[in-house]
Amino acid sequence: MKCELMAECKLPVKFSRACEVDMKSFSYNGRPEEVIALIHKKSEIAVNEVPLVRVHSACITGEIFGSQKCDCGYQFKQGMGKICSTAYGIMLYMTSHEGRGIGLNNKIRAYQLQEQGANTIEANEKLGFPADARDFSAAVAVLKFLKVDRVKILTNNPEKIKVLRNNNIEVVEQVSLSAELNQFNKQYLLLKQNVLAHRFQHFLQETSVF
């Protein structure tokens, strides 16, 4: 797995609080898409500090267009807030993961199928894709490039934990994220919890909204 640092700079950001992060751009195995690492690291931390890490899949509809059909934008802001509040945190932004790896055009096609009654898994499968087409090997390669072999993982998704452990990265703690339920994302989030075994910070119930 060849991981190459392409560019880096300092970046002041503000989420729940303001902080400065190191922004690093990586290529992986010569692919055109980048992995962006946003690293918040206080200079006084101990050498053996375990970083809080989130592997976040790009979602232009949720993060840029403000879609209420998913929780991606909310999770990114929540994740960056937690990373900026800890002594050592890393956000890995996976630019090739739009639509769980099927790309924006196919994601819009999947949304159209969902309007006709399919759930998110059924829609991907009707388009000829697996329920989740994401490849997390680039994230593993970047963590190893950064010499990170132990993490506190910021995720609700058990598959991300499995991938890290299968690649000899120790997960010492899972930190779950909360969700903002609304009438547009309720069934999607319940499917993530009840079918895909995502562990939200608070258990989601069918009757909790609307």
Q: Is 134 assigned a catalytic role?
A: yes
What 145-153 contacts at long range (C-beta under 8 Å, 24+ apart), as own/partner pairs, is 145/3, 145/5, 145/26, 146/37, 146/39, 146/90, 148/51, 148/53, 148/90, 150/50, 151/50, 151/51, 151/52, 151/53, 152/50, 152/51, 152/52, 152/53, 153/53, 153/54, 153/55
Q: Is 132 assigned a catalytic role?
A: yes
Of 54, 71, 100, 134, the active-site residue reads 134
Of 22, 109, 132, 199, the active-site residue reads 132
Q: Active-site residues: which are they? A: 132, 134
